[in-house]
Amino acid sequence: MTPSGSELKATSKPLLSAAFWAIKKNTAALVMASGVFWLVAPEARADGTFFQLDLAPHASDAVLGATRGKMSFGANFSTYEGGWSAGAHVTRDFVIGDIATLKVGPSIGSSDAMNGTKLGGKVIVERYQPTDFGFVFLSGQYNSIENDWFTLAQFGNGKGLSVDLTAGGSDTYSEQSVAVNYRFDDGPTSLRGGYRFDAQEFFVGLSVNTY
């Protein structure tokens, strides 16, 4: 990487609402909590790397992520009409039983609209669930920098075809999208295409996923 967008938001909200509130109230508390998680978290999911590039007539998005042991790293760069934004984070990952993987750590961000570079904290909750038809992958993210949030629901048939439903926003933007991914020959590379509802434009992209 179906339910409606409202169902997607309802799925993610119960898992993230408490963490979102804590971050918004005190970013320093998140940083201290992440230090504890770095020391005590159990092993998370397997190592892997993810890269995705989407291109639209008036925008582009590049995302890079990687997991090594109990650590995850991420970076993103986006362009849009009249500006750009970039960010990075590092998290300590730990497993919540058979429910989800929680990732907590510091973040850094910048954009042409910001006055320099900002530091913050990021929380990510992810769940991968095999199903009779293939799999479901859910992800919810919150970054205290500009109150940036993102949710993803991906549904796959286990044979190379999947559908992504996403919603996101911050103090400066809002977007919802749908995309279809096709993976080549059981390998890590997929072609994708979709539609952004707020921007009212189609996009095409490429992703590489070794998880």
Calculate mean pLDDT across residues 33-60. Answer: 71
Q: Which pLDDT tens digit goes with each residue over 163-172?
A: 999 999 998 8
Residue 28 tokens, joined: 């320093």
Residue partners of 50: CB distance under 8 A and separation at least 6: 63, 64, 65, 66, 207, 208, 209, 210, 211
Q: Which pLDDT tens digit goes with each residue over 79-120?
A: 988 889 999 999 999 999 889 999 999 999 999 888 889 999
Could you tell me the pLDDT band of residue 53, with boundaries at 50, 70 and 90?
very high
pTM score above 0.85 = no
Q: Is the separation of the CB atoms in 161 and 144 below 8 Å?
A: no
Q: Is the separation of the CB atoms in 144 and 23 below 8 Å?
A: yes
Name the 3-class secondary structure at 98: coil
Least confident of 28-37, 106-115, 185-194: 28-37
**132 DSSP 8-state letter:** S
What's the confidence (pLDDT) of residue 131? 95
State the angle between helix axes of 27-40 and 5-25 in degrees (0 to 180), rounded to the nearest 10.
100
Strand spans (E) along the chain = 48-56, 59-68, 71-80, 83-96, 100-111, 117-130, 135-143, 148-156, 161-169, 174-183, 189-196, 201-209
Residue 38's nearest CA partner among 66, 68, 71, 65 is 71
Domain ranges of the chain: 5-206
Name the 3-class secondary structure at 14: helix
Domain at 5-206, CATH from 2.40.160.40, 3.30.1950.10, 2.40.128.110, 3.40.50.720 = 2.40.160.40
Q: Is the separation of the CB atoms in 162 and 181 below 8 Å?
A: yes
